[in-house]
């Protein structure tokens, strides 16, 4: 458990936080662990449930952990709090828009993706996010091939 807490303290991305949550699920005494909307109905024993807010309050996200017994909750609560803090740090960091790659996959796949009415994007936590479909031009108000720079 100490290793998990140390990794949580050093986590910097949402991907890191999701990996920590998945690993936490494997601990003895943890029935379930997931980052969910705070509006998701609560199922299970309330006295064995830990609900820790994650990210900006207006997003309404939380790390929800259900423990199998009260001693497990007492023993693992600090680790759950550290994982929630890691997810919180990752979610409040800005993810900047970057120009999409010149071609993604085959020419047919690229034509279908860019012409889609749905908004399609890719997210690379280290680099940023790229709008792939033309519908983003209308929704975002700028040319997706030349996204605005952020300070």
Structure letter (DSSP) for residue 44: S
* Predicted local confidence at residue 103, as pLDDT: 67
* Predicted local confidence at residue 116, as pLDDT: 77
pLDDT mean by block of 10 residues, the chain; 151 residues:
87 87 95 92 86 88 94 94 91 72 74 77 74 74 68 45
Residue 105 and residue 116: Cα distance in Å, rounded?
15
What does DSSP say about strands 128-131 and 121-124: parallel, antiparallel, or unpaired?
antiparallel
| Long-range pairs of 118-125 with CB within 8 A, sequence gap ≥ 24 | 123/95, 125/13, 125/14, 125/15, 125/90, 125/95
Q: What is the dihedral of CA 82, 7, 35, 88, to 10 degrees?
A: 60
E strand or H helix at 102: none
- CB-based contact 10:36 (threshold 8 Å): no
**Sign of the alpha-carbon dihedral angle for 57, 141, 128, 107:** positive
């Amino acid at each position: 458990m100490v290793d998990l807490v140390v990794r949580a303290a050093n986590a910097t991305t949402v991907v890191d936080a999701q990996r920590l949550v998945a690993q936490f699920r494997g601990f003895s005494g943890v029935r379930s662990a997931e980052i969910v909307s705070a509006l998701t109905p609560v199922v299970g024993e309330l006295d064995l449930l830990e609900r820790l807010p994650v990210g900006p309050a207006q997003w309404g996200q939380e790390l929800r952990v259900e423990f199998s017994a009260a001693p497990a909750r007492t023993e693992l609560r600090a680790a759950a709090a550290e994982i929630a803090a890691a997810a919180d740090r990752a979610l409040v960091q800005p993810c900047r828009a970057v120009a999409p790659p010149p071609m993604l996959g085959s020419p047919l796949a690229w034509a279908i993706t860019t012409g889609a009415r749905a908004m399609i994007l890719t997210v690379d936590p280290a680099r940023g996010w790229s709008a792939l479909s033309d519908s983003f031009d209308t929704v975002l108000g700028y040319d997706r091939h030349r996204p605005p720079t952020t300070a």
